[in-house]
Amino acid sequence: MRCTSFCTANQIDLNRLNVELNFSTKPHLYKDVIHQEIPKERSHSGDVFYFSYGSIVMWGLEEAEEKQILENLKKFEKDPVLKIERDDFTFTYGETMKIDEDEIFLEGKNFMQKLAISYAIAQSGKLAVFEEGVNAIVEKSSQLPQQLAHEGKVPFSRKDIFKRMGELFIERTRVNLNSNVLDIPEFFWENPELEPVYRKTAYYLDMSKRVDGMNKKLTVIHDFLDILSSELNHQHSSRLELTIIVLIVIEVLLMLFWSK
């Protein structure tokens, strides 16, 4: 069976979404996620988990059903992402919970285990959005070291440097201050028995390594831009000193001229 996740926006209005879902189903609203059970004529029902930070994880649905849910979700999205991030898994039931080659083995049919796994999958989708932003900045800045090495300068003003540093700071802030993406969700404080399931999934998805990788990229670019900024400040100071010297020379020449 299918398990598919999407990150479609920076935020989903769960309160408004919950009101609408109550007209057709009986959703369960948690602090930062809504669980909606999709009834089926077949032997199994589907589960959909909507996360406040713009991710959605769907279990046991057909592709047409997923597309319809995503279409209905658009009116509750805030700040949609430019590129929707998607992850595809399959799932079945086994004796113990594990993930192997994108196939999830669930222990029993309790939807709470699906929720614990969905937290990690949803966070992974959000991280993929962050990674897109970081990679875009890396791409924009990748030619600067080569230009500096070959030409001894880069075609940047101090304003350009500060704008790039601002972009870097925004991305680093999005990654590191977004606690519901990086930290263990508060849900597991009240449900500690499910935390090992979440941790196992997060480990499989390389969450920590991916965050560290993004931060290292941002640090390298920031250090390079900081060097450029220091050099431009030094050049600016040198021009000011030269201007002052020229003005002093002119003043001395004028004094000598008028003293004759």
Residue owning tokens 């002119």: 250
Q: Angle at CA 214, nearest 5°, toward 213 and 215?
A: 90
d(C-alpha 208, C-alpha 136), whole Å:
21
Range picked from 77-86, 144-153, 157-166, 243-252 for highest mean pLDDT? 77-86
Minimum mean pLDDT range among 129-138, 168-177, 208-217: 168-177
Minimum mean pLDDT range among 123-127, 151-155, 169-173: 151-155
Q: What is the 3-state secondary structure (H, E, C) of the chain?
A: CEEEEEEEEEEECHHHHHHHHCCCCCCEECCCEEEEEECCCCCCCEEEEEECCCEEEEECCCHHHHHHHHHHHHHHEEEEEEEEEEEEEEEEEECCCEEECCEEEEECCCHHHHHHHHHHHHHHHHHHHHHHHHHHHHHHHCCHHHHHHHHCCCCCCHHHHHHHHHHHHHHHHHHHCCHHHHCCCCHHHHCHHHHHHHHHHHHHCCHHHHHHHHHHHHHHHHHHHHHHHHHHHHHHHHHHHHHHHHHHHHHHHHHHHHHC
Q: Which residues contact 194 (CB under 8 A, 6 or more apart)?
A: 112, 113, 115, 116, 187, 188
Higher pLDDT among residues 15 and 164, named by residue:
15
CB 62 within 8 A of CB 78: no
CB 215 within 8 A of CB 176: yes
With 0-12 / 13-18 / 19 or more C-beta atoms within 10 angstroms meaning exposed / middle / buried, residue 51 is buried
Higher pLDDT among residues 162 and 196, named by residue:
196
- CA distances 258 to 211, 245, 247, 252, Å, are 69, 20, 16, 10
Query: What is the sign of the dihedral through the CA atoms of 123, 124, 125 and 131?
Result: positive
Q: Which residues contact 184 (CB under 8 A, 6 or more apart)?
A: 195, 198, 199
Residue owning tokens 């589907």: 46
The amino acid at residue 172 is R
| pLDDT for residue 238 | 59
pTM value is: 0.79
Q: Would you kindly state where each structural domain of the chain is located, as residue ranges? A: 2-218
CATH fold, domain 2-218, is TATA-Binding Protein (3.30.310)
Residues above pLDDT 70, as percent of the chain:
79
CB 206 within 8 A of CB 121: no
Higher pLDDT among residues 140 and 7, named by residue:
7
Higher pLDDT among residues 98 and 178, named by residue:
98
